[in-house]
Structure 1
């Protein structure tokens, strides 16, 4: 689904922050992206989501060479990728329910066809009683769960999650991990960026370890 070959990235004339990154994400796979703070995990996810362009190397997503993509083609590819940002990126004027259902509305679905799905997912992540609340009223952990639900609601082909359990307690972190596992069993490839060792030890999955701009893979 995603393939990197000798990818490098630098900002301006500075040194490369990512160097010779090569890996592939198979259909239906599950992996953790880990490494120390500042190693470049978020930057690597942004490259995978087409939010950044590499300064060298090849990135192929869903069979498309991203260097040859036209600007109007990128939204179509991004629609096939679910992403949970570390800073949530919720719309403050929309309720929890409206934030989560937004991807479905953008695709033109009628509310009657998805309301039950949204309500069920919000119940599962523990926000069933917070559906009509605006983001400024939510705690950090609640905002995190809204962001996760929004990324999952459209059943993406691949899910990229940047520290998705960083603002929740260990019990809820395990529950969210089970949700990611169930999503993966349904066919979605999952990449979770995290430094939480306890979380990674709960499932046998490939670890992609980023350190000093280079990537090592451990199956």
Structure 2
């Protein structure tokens, strides 16, 4: 994968994500997450873990600004996001790669077209990215599936396509929600190596998982959610 990534990345030390006393509730109910204070540093790698229902997906959606906090302050790439404009929000999100469990592939586009879509949206010509898309699809084991539509793909194949689409933009921050949940252990290790390589070349990585066998393969910080609060295991 060395040819896919450009290793000349910025050494900015500004926190990629910073939460200060953040809480979130739905409707008039109790806070599902509360008093969240933490930072994600540039070029860092961390697992986000906790039991089912602990709020891992909600925390990822807070970072993506798909969910608004009830209270507290959130900054992304050094920018306070309270009152952020729609254009600025779009610019911030373009710096992130996101893999959620529902995949969000477009059924009328082929696997190749789905992965290339973020680059098309940026206005890039296909000639400038085709080789990169093909290489990445081969790396995630979809080299022979790039011209089929998502309804033909298995759940694991859709997962890998969603991962490839998130990585193709070479994001500053990758948020992945159970990215190895639908693949076999061998492929899970392969995908983890891809995330490690992406991180080595500059991307901050947050992987939400409850798979201890996956986490035990890498000695990195763990963000542990429980009872609505966050504990950091360095």
TM-score relative to the length of structure 2: 0.93
Q: Distance in 1 between matches of 2:168 and 2:42?
A: 19
Partner of 2:216: 201
Specify which structure has the higher proportion of helix.
Answer: 1
| Aligned match for 1:70, one of 55, 79, 85 | 85
Which structure 2 segments of 5+ residues have no match? 1-15
Partner of 1:10: 25
Q: Distance in 1 between matches of 2:152 and 2:169?
A: 25
**CA offsets per residue over residues 103-133 of structure 1, 9 Å max, x none?**
0000010000000000000000000000001
Partner of 2:175: 160
Q: Does 2:185 match 1:135? A: no
Q: Distance in 2 between matches of 1:79 and 1:213?
A: 29
Q: Runs (4+) of structure 1 moved beyond 6 Å?
A: none
**CA offsets per residue over residues 141-197 of structure 1, 9 Å max, x none?**
000000000000010001000000000000000000000000000100000000000
Local SS of the residue matching 2:223: strand
TM-score relative to the length of structure 1: 0.99
Q: How many residues end up aligned between the 2 structures?
A: 219
Which structure 1 segments of 5+ residues have no match? none
Partner of 1:150: 165
Q: Does 2:53 match 1:38? A: yes
Q: Does 2:185 match 1:184? A: no
Q: Distance in 2 between matches of 1:211 and 1:65?
A: 26
CA RMSD of aligned residues (A): 0.5
CA apart distance, 1:71 = 2.1
Partner of 1:86: 101
